[in-house]
Structures are given as C-alpha cells and as structure tokens.
Amino acid sequence: MSATITTVDQPSAPAPRSRKLWPRLVRPAAAVLSGALLYASFPPRPLWWLVLPGFALLGWVLSARRLRAALGLGLLAGLGFMLPLLHWTGEEVGPVPWLALATAEALFIAVGCAGIAAVSRLPYWPVWAAAVWTLDEAVRARVPFGGFPWGKIAFGQADSAFLPLAALGGTPLLSFAVVLCGFGLLEAVRQVRRRRAGSPVPRAAVVAAAVTVAAPVVAALAALPLVDDSAEDGTATVAAVQGNVPRLGLDFNSQRRAVLDNHVARTEQLARDVTAGKERRPDLVLWPENSSDLDPFRNADAADAIERAVRAIGAPTVIGAVLTPETGPLRNTLIKWDPENGPVDTYDKRHIQPFGEYMPMRSFVRIFSKDVDRVQRDFGPGSRVGVFDLDGTKVGLVTCYEAAFDDAVRDTVRHGGQFIAVPSNNATFGRSEMTYQQLAMSQVRAVEHGRAVVVPVTSGVSAVIRPDGTIVEKTKMFTADALVDDVPLRSSLTPATWLGALPEGVLAALAVAGLGWVTVRSVRARKAAGK
C-alpha cells in the first residue's frame, strides 16, 4: 500500500515593510542629494564640477513628475542646497533666521522645479528646463524685499571652465549654460542606456543629447577671447586696508572706535612702510565698509583720526562709514576723503539688506526672534550710482551685499568705472563660508565686466582680483593687513555689460514659452480625452 503525501501551499510571507518603503524613498533621497551636490560645488571647495551631476540627478528626480510631487521633491532639493549654503546667516543670531531664509529660498526652488517637471515632457527638454531654472533665479533676485540672489549657480563657478560665458551674457547666461549641461548629461546617459538595452534610439534624440552637453562647453571655449586682463588705460597702485575688528560676531560694533582706530593704525603703518621703501606708494587707498561706524560728519574726533591717517598716506582714500543724520534713516556710506580737502564726495549703498540693515515686518518678526531689536534704526537706500574719480582713476563702488546684484555692479562700469571696489564687512559672520562665497561673486564680476576688482574687508578675506578672475593677493581672516598692488585699468565693455539685462530677459521668455507650450498641450489632451 502506498501512501500519498498531500502538500498544502503555505501562504507566502509578506514582504518586509522596508522593501515596500524603499522605492518610495529613492526619489526624495535623490532630491536631497542633488541639492547637497549643488551646495558642495560652491566655495570654499574647488569642486565646481559637482554642479553637473547635481543637475543630472535633479533632472532624473523631476522627470515627468506630477505638479504636487515635483513641488515636494523640489522643496527637498532646495533645502538640501540652501540649508548648508546659508548656514552662516545664523552664525550669531541662532537658527531661526537661518531656517526661515533657507526655507523661503527653497520654496522658490520648489516652484521652479515644478516648472522643470512640466517641461520635462517636451522635446529638447534640457533647454526648456535650464531656462526655467534661470527664470527662477531671476525671480529670487528680485522678490521679496528687493530679492536675495545668493545661491545663483553662476556664483559657484568662479574657477569653472564655463566662467568665460559670464563675459558674454552675464550671470544669467552662465547659470543657464551650466544647468543645461547638467540636464544634458542626464539625457545623454538615457540614450546610451536605451541603446545598450537594444531599444530603438531616434537620431534626433541622440543629436539633442549631444548638443545640450557640448554646446555650453563649446560656447565657453568660444568666449575665451572675451576674457582680457590687459591694462588698456595703464595701471593704478591701489592699497586695500584691513584693520581687523576687536571681536567676532555682532558685538564687534559695540567697540566702534576700536574698529576705526585699527584702520587708522594700519594705514599709518602702511605710510611708514612707504617712507622706509618697504612698500610702494599707493595712488589711492580703500578702506572697508563700516571701517568707521562713528559718523565723521557728527563726531569731530572720528574725523580727526581719519584725517590724520589720510594725510599720512598722502593719497585719496575711500572710507566706509555709517552716517547718522538727526532725522530719517541711517546711511551706509562710502566717503571720498582727499588728503588736502577732506571729505569731498559720498556714495550711499543702494541695495540694503533686509533683516540686517533694515527690518521689514518688525512686529511680526519679533514673535520668532527678539534679535530683531538689534536693528534699532533702519538704514535707507541711496539712489545714485557710485563712481569716484580718485586723482584721475575712476573707481566703481559696490558695497558688500550689492555684489550679488547684477544691476548694481553693471551700473558702475557703464558709468565709467575703470576698476571695481567692493568694500565689505563680514565680521558679523565670523569664520563662516560667507566670506568665500562673496569673494567668488567678485571673481565672477571681474570676468563679467572685464574689470579688476579690489575687495577690502574689515576682518578678511581682502583680495585683489584681475579682470580674468584670478586672485593675485589676499589676506588671512581676522588679522590686520594691507594689500598694495598695481591694478590694470580698463574702459572697454564686454558684451555682458553692453547687453545688460537682455540675456536674462531672453532666457526668461524662453522659459515662459516652454511653460506655455506645456499648458497648450495639456489643454488639447483634455479636450481630446473629453471627446
């Protein structure tokens, strides 16, 4: 007798929850990683090329995503980028302002990413997507409260192979080209994978992928002749004085007289070095922003100290001062101080920093941070373009934060500036990356406008930058020092300076056209489905 063994199928064990969850987390994790790669491409790291895989990854994350998903993924990418990039904003005031600003900027990026997801369905999508990113940067640079251009992709490209494009179309074209190349890399990888999988690959798709990668590189090479550091109008021997501050952080301002005395002492030391033959005699001297937070027009002792230093060095000197009129707002002012005639001209900073130099929505912001009351009296903006004639040398003036704004720098060159001065005060932000991020902006501006840029900073890093973007001299942070260098003077205009905001306008129009095309296609598809 034989026995029959009956087997009963056991129900299969349910898949571990982690296996179900992981596929849902891949794109969010990749979104954060793409933002982190964008951050890592910025100074002080010399890793500008990380921006390319960063955008390739972002393109993959957003491809054909629906609006809600793209907004969420874009927000994650924006936070991955902006949270570490803007960490310095909370250096002395805690995490609330930092988190608020980073989140606000990330929300702008999220909206831009939704637009990128929408145009990713179009033919030649990398072109449309790069234009949408550039439009997003243009909006962030203008609203709210005058905008906040920090984090513009162009500002991470100071050492990049793409940098010559800044001379052709300014920071908008530079950003567009870099983003286009990153998205083009993704499309190239896709076409290679399809071919390896044996799927038919249309020739037009291959050509489009190749062009979106190659065109930015070829354009950058073609723009190289625009980068010129020759001294068209001779040279000027320029001294940049870094007097240093008595302490780091926001409280450095409580010792305003010490800051002024430091700059007076370092200028007098430079004068002694010139007399002893240790240093060249400067044709002009630049002090940083806030080098005299005592108003020399209202404080005779401050005026006497500045007068003593300027006469000792015997050259016209640009003094960064805070003016405190009896009524009205404060003024962040650069003063042209002549050794014979004293103060003879002024420039008031035009782009003043919201929540730093003036406080919008003061009562509302106080709910979140009592540091709002550190700004007890608001600064007001100036209206006149800053160009000083210092013994025949025309110097374009851009005060600190203004270096982030295209129009502020461009205006000084169009008004005759033969080189650009960026007096700055970074002591508030300690030893953070802020100084290096801002210095990179000045390198990009040098190439964009074909001008040398001299950056005197209260606490460092002060620097002399050639018109080709090369830093030839720089100081250490939180030391007293002075840089003296022969700066090439130039009067020709690059295409970027001459074209002004036109490249940005063309790219914005391209983005709008792409988004409009998507909308029309969507409407037609719905009508067809309704039939």
105 as an active site residue: the answer is no
Number of helical (H) and strand (E) elements in the chain, helices listed first: 14, 12
The helix/strand/coil state of 4 is: coil
Q: How far is CA 488 from CA 18, 461, 466, 468, in A?
A: 62, 21, 8, 11
Among 145, 84, 133, 105, which Cα is nearest to 401's?
145
Query: Is the Cβ–Cβ distance between 449 and 410 less than 8 Å?
Result: yes
Distance (Å, whole) CA 254 – CA 258? 9
- Give catalytic status of residue 289 as yes or no: yes
Do residues 35 and 62 make contact, with C-beta atoms less than 8 angstroms apart?
no
Distance CA 56, CA 209 (A): 12
Partnered with residue 473 across adjacent β-strands are: 464
Please pick, among 289, 402, 433, 448, the residue that the annotation labels catalytic.
Answer: 289
Cis peptide preceding 461, ω within 30 of 0:
yes
β 387-390/342-348 pair status? unpaired
Cα 240 from Cα 244, distance rounded (Å): 12
Query: Buried (b) or exposed (e) across 62-79, using 16+ Cβ within 10 A?
Result: bbebeeebbbbbbbbbbb
In 3D space, the residue among 102, 93, 99 whose CA is nearest the CA of residue 150 turns out to be: 102
**Could you tell me the two tokens for 218?**
């070829």
Catalytically annotated residue among 105, 137, 187, 349:
349
Active-site position among 152, 187, 400, 504? 400
- Between CA 104 and CA 109 the distance in angstroms is 9
Confirm whether 113 is a catalytic residue.
Answer: no
Q: Helices (DSSP H) in 332-405: which residue ranges? A: 362-366
Indicate which residues carry an active-site annotation. 289, 349, 400
